[in-house]
């Protein structure tokens, strides 16, 4: 008798992620283009906001051209 196939570490998670992405692709094809566009703007706007807030929390900002910023350049 042959043993059942067992996926490696994370194999079930990879399968679940691929299935979720495939379902998302099918669902987006069924949505009207205007709804799809609004969802994309909403999603990527949220991602931008989260990454912006996270980067701001580090206190580092690039220096402005010709000015002195908090860019970590030379002091003095």
Mean pLDDT of the chain: 75
**What percent of the chain lies above the pLDDT cut of 90?**
14
pTM over 0.85: no
- Averaged pLDDT, 5-12: 65
User: Can you give the residue ranges of every domain in the chain?
Assistant: 33-57
Q: In whole angstroms, give the CA distance from residue 68 to residue 65.
A: 8
Q: In whole angstroms, give the CA distance from residue 52 to residue 65.
A: 21
pLDDT at 5 over 70: no
Classify residue 36 by burial, with Cβ atoms within 10 Å: 0-12, 13-18, 19+.
Answer: middle
pLDDT in tens, 46-69: 888 887 766 666 666 666 666 555
């Amino acid at each position: 008798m042959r043993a059942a196939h067992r996926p490696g570490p994370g194999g079930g998670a990879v399968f679940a992620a691929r299935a979720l992405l495939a379902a998302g692709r099918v669902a987006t094809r069924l949505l009207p283009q205007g709804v799809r566009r609004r969802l994309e703007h909403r999603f990527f706007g949220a991602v931008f906001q989260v990454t912006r807030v996270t980067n701001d929390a580090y206190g580092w900002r690039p220096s402005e051209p010709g000015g002195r910023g908090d860019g970590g350049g030379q002091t003095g």
